[in-house]
Amino acid sequence: MLLNPGPVNLSQRVRQALSGPDLCHREVEFSALQTRLREELLALYSLAPEEYAAVLLSGSGTAAVEAMLCSLVPAGSKVLILENGVYGQRLERIAAIHGIPHDTLHHAWDGPLDVQRARNKLREDPEISHLAAVHHETTTGRLNDLAALAEPCRERGIAMLVDAVSSFGAEDIDFARWPLAAAAASAGKCLHGVPGLSLVLLRRAALEDKAAPTRSLYLDLRGHLAAQDAEDTSFTPPVQCCYALAEALAECRETGGWPARRRSYWRKMDRVRGGLADLGAAPLLSRAQCAAPLNAFRLPAGTAYQPLHDALKEAGYIIYAGQGGLARTIFRVACMGEVSMEQLTEFLDAVRDILC
Ligand SMILES: *Cc1c(COP(=O)(O)O)cnc(C)c1O
């Protein structure tokens, strides 16, 4: 049982969808599938197709994040990056690799983003046109407060670029109230599809506003959007991943969309938080600071990660290590995908057997 943040345990219907018919992506059957996927992705967050578009990309979540930064920051403008974990660092690396002018506000990994610092920076630097941040920083399980950041952005006419890879499908992403130009997401996390397909949900005007230079052939959102709007694809798409995502999105819609998924994750995570705390593995962050899909836990005194991981793997459960400076002190548990309360109770029993 996978308790890592993607790939996830697949439902039976998603697994079956993977063995759909062999299909050429230049045929009408694929165009219809692609169009349906793009419509369903907008519908998940009630977005109007005249104003917003979902652009599908081959690749894991990082492909979507890189495409978003490459395609949406115009020449001559600067992006302010807010970092409080591995994925914030990745935003900075992407900007550096593509020569995109940027400034980064670094933060402690166990702390929140400093909205006042961001506001001051935006006020004092007129070259900044975009702000990039991670929604759910999977490094710690923190849900960064994008609503609070939206306000200084709106004040200065700054467009937000959000890495929503581990929140899309299970957390509120308020496209109407936050000045979002785009959000990057992946099929293989909270959407419960398989890895290999990712997407950028963008405000159409964000691509039209000012021309960004083409910084990548493969990750050029303008090219992908034009092709997909014309019911075509720029390159060969991962057809089977598309089958899986279509089924996963249907499953999400039928079970109540992202709000129901968030509630379901929290029911499970509350059980895990309570159970692990009883065993000496206290949550790293308070419940109010956390995202529903994944939480981080302190390793109990005298317990190292690797033996705990190996013993749990032996018992049938995959947990996830901490990263960077947190590698020795925390571990992470995600409840994405097909995971039942009963299985989580059995998981907690397995942890008890190992620790006690
Ligand atoms: C998983 C994840 C990514 C993308 O990682 P991939 O390995 O490329 O799928 C990006 N950002 C966040 C916050 C993530 O959790």
One-letter amino acid of 340: S
Answer yes or no: are the C-beta atoms of 184 and 221 closer than 8 Å: no
- Give yes or no for residue 34 CB within 6 A of ligand 1: no
- Give the other-Cβ count within 10 Å of 260's Cβ: 14
Among 109, 138, 165, residue to substitute to test ligand 1 (most atoms within 8 Å of Cβ): 165
Does residue 341 come out as left (phi exceeding 0), alpha (psi in the -120 to 50 range) or beta?
Answer: alpha
Residue 296's Cα: distance from chain center in Å? 16
Question: Cα(303)–Cα(31) distance, rounded to whole angstroms?
Answer: 52
- Give yes or no for residue 4 CB within 6 A of ligand 1: no
Structure tokens at 20: 């759909």
- Give yes or no for residue 289 CB within 6 A of ligand 1: no
Contacts of 68 (CB under 8 A, 6+ apart): 161, 163, 182, 183, 184, 200, 202, 221
- Give yes or no for residue 62 CB within 6 A of ligand 1: yes
Among 2, 8, 62, residue to substitute to test ligand 1 (most atoms within 8 Å of Cβ): 62
56 three-class SS: strand
- Give yes or no for residue 171 CB within 6 A of ligand 1: no
- Give yes or no for residue 166 CB within 6 A of ligand 1: yes
- Give yes or no for residue 65 CB within 6 A of ligand 1: yes
304 three-class SS: coil
Closest-CA residue, ligand 1 atom 4, reads 61
Residue with tokens 């936050």: 178
288 DSSP assignment: G
Closest CA to 79 of 60, 62, 99: 99
User: Where do the H-state alpha helices sit in the chain?
Assistant: 12-17, 28-44, 61-72, 86-97, 115-124, 146-156, 204-208, 221-229, 239-254, 257-278, 305-315, 341-355
Closest-CA residue, ligand 1 atom 12, reads 165
Can you say whether the dihedral through the CA atoms of 6, 183, 154, 82 is positive or negative? positive
Residue with tokens 């720029």: 234
What φ, ψ does residue 269 adopt, rounded to 5°?
-65, -35
- Give yes or no for residue 185 CB within 6 A of ligand 1: no
Answer yes or no: are the C-beta atoms of 311 and 319 closer than 8 Å: no
The per-residue pLDDT for 208 is: 83
Question: Cα(102)–Cα(104) distance, rounded to whole angstroms?
Answer: 7
* Side-chain half-sphere CA neighbours of 104 within 13 A: 18
> Which atom of ligand 1 has the smallest separation from the CA of 186?
9
- Give yes or no for residue 163 CB within 6 A of ligand 1: yes
> Per residue of the chain (356 residues), what is the pLDDT tens digit?
999 999 999 999 999 999 999 999 999 999 999 999 999 999 999 999 999 999 999 999 999 999 999 999 999 899 999 999 999 999 999 999 999 999 999 999 999 999 999 999 999 999 999 999 999 999 999 999 999 999 999 999 999 999 999 999 999 999 989 999 999 999 999 999 999 999 999 999 999 867 789 999 999 999 999 999 999 999 999 999 999 999 999 999 999 999 999 999 999 999 999 999 999 999 999 999 999 999 999 999 999 999 999 999 999 999 999 999 999 999 999 999 999 999 999 999 999 999 98
Answer yes or no: are the C-beta atoms of 84 and 109 closer than 8 Å: yes
One-letter amino acid of 224: H
C-alpha 88 – ligand 1 centre gap (Å): 10
